[in-house]
Amino acid sequence: MNMNHTLRYVDDHTKGLVSDLQVLIRQPSVSAKNEGLEKCAKLVCNIMKKSGIKSELLRLKKGVPPLVFGEVKSKQNPNKTLLFYNHYDVQPVEPFELWDDKPFSGKIKGNKIFGRGSSDDKGELITRIKAVESYLRTNGDVPCNVKFVVEGEEEIGSEHVELYLKKYRKKFACDAVIWEFGYVDSKNRPIISLGMKGLLYVELSKKESTRDLHSSLAVIIKNPAWRLLEAVKSLRNADGKILIKDWYKEVQSLTKKELQLIESEPFDEIGMKKEYGVKNFVANKKGKAAKQALVAEPTCNIAGFVSGYTEQGAKTVLPGSAFVKIDFRLVPNMDPKKQLARLRSHLKSKGFGDLKMTVYHGEAASKTNISDPFVSQVQESANEIYGKSILSVSSAGTGPMYAFAQVLKSPCVSIGCTHVYARIHSPNEFARLDLIKKTTKCMCRILEKFAKD
């Protein structure tokens, strides 16, 4: 196969790549609100078919968003299969007033394309599709079998992805998986992540009175917000250490190779603090300690706290109810179900058994071995396209990598085009067009090297 022709095709057809990405961005697909998922899944299917990829919608049951499956069988090398995992759902766009343009505009300004999903994950998905299209248009074939699994619930915990994997295990069978995203750092170096943290997401709530009351009654009627604050305070200390009994029991120490990798990984501490407007990290972590925390330490985070009057100005009320949303990032060997049981036990033992708990979802963490041959194939490809790449033990974020690794028994490696400060999950999310094009070329290289080895 002529790689030069394939890469030139990417350069010559950038306009079509951007146009298809705009089509995807302009279709809202907010899984948290069940908004536009069916329409977006069909759009993904159509774009795949237009690119020469056989595609179909797979379903589990009514109410579950469809999964898009795509496949191209290789004539040259039918015995090796690479699977691309992505998602077509996006985060909610609120607060609307902080967007410079409409959240689903797909507007281009210079080297950037804006809109919810422009990076996470529609921009990433388009690089995979267009890499396959480039091979098909220039060679009439792909270096190995290629499969796509594109789900619609990643942003709300991938609740049904494991059921899809088990039901269609044979259909999804593969030798390796390219994960749905990857960061590019402030010096334009792609960060190749070998793992994902797990997650436990819960909501604690307390209802004390039938409605909000006059705050003068606070001397005799309990405030549910105080109750939640006391409960939350018991979960961790000021340095971020989680105080729940046996929370760290199954956590294993990093290997010598992993520690060496963390030591060698660049970390723009000054740039990160400037971008996010912070003076210090938790527990005043610096350098190696901060890097190690990002890839290998559990967290306990308050994602939202709501009670009483929160609008402009003063209103003297005693809230009738309060709730707090908490997410716990988990590391390998931490079982979400076991950690949930420990959380329940902790709250009960501390006298907070009266609080109502709603469990949204839980995912286990996963990690690919540094020595797996697939890792070097991906890194070599990235180095050839970008000049240099960074290998990371794990992403600080969460995704259903554990389910893929367990069900498909294949190594998963994360690499992509998302700039580290692309404002994903925030207003004015964007993707850089130059990085989208480079990552498309990188995917072409990965297919080539993976097929040869």
Per-residue pLDDT of 99-156, as tens digits, reads 999 999 999 999 999 999 999 999 999 999 999 999 999 999 999 999 999 999 999 9
Calculate mean pLDDT across residues 42-62: 97
Sign, CA dihedral 322-303-25-422, equals positive
**The pLDDT value given to residue 29:** 98
Largest CA distance in the chain: 80
Asked if residue 379 has pLDDT above 90, the reply is: yes
pLDDT class of 333 with cuts at 50, 70, 90: very high
Per-residue pLDDT of 247-286, as tens digits, reads 999 999 999 999 999 999 899 899 999 999 999 999 999 9
**The pLDDT value given to residue 223:** 98
Asked if residue 185 has pLDDT above 90, the reply is: yes
Domains of the chain plus CATH, in order, are 3-196+366-452 (3.40.630.10), 198-251+298-363 (3.30.70.360)
Asked if residue 1 has pLDDT above 90, the reply is: no
pLDDT class of 412 with cuts at 50, 70, 90: very high
**The pLDDT value given to residue 453:** 78
Asked if residue 71 has pLDDT above 90, the reply is: yes
Tell me the percentage of the chain whose pLDDT exceeds 90.
Answer: 97
pLDDT class of 2 with cuts at 50, 70, 90: confident
Cα separation, 245 vs 348, in Å, equals 12
Please state whether the peptide bond connecting residue 95 to the residue before it is cis, i.e. omega within 30 degrees of 0: yes
Reference 402, options 361, 375, 370, 367; nearest CA is: 367
Asked if residue 349 has pLDDT above 90, the reply is: yes
151: tokens are 């789900």
**The pLDDT value given to residue 6:** 97
DSSP state of 154: G
User: Which run of H or of E encompasses 296?
Assistant: helix 287-296
Per-residue pLDDT of 303-324, as tens digits, reads 999 999 999 999 999 999 999 9
How many other β-carbons are positioned within 10 Å of the β-carbon of residue 276?
Answer: 8
Say what the pTM is: 0.90
Cα separation, 86 vs 106, in Å, equals 19
Cα separation, 69 vs 44, in Å, equals 10
Strand partners, 86: 150
233: tokens are 């305070």
Distance of CA 272 to the CA centre of its chain: 19
Calculate mean pLDDT across residues 376-387: 98
pLDDT class of 23 with cuts at 50, 70, 90: very high
Cα separation, 328 vs 434, in Å, equals 35
Reference 94, options 364, 425, 368; nearest CA is: 425
Per-residue pLDDT of 210-245, as tens digits, reads 999 999 999 999 999 999 999 999 999 999 999 999
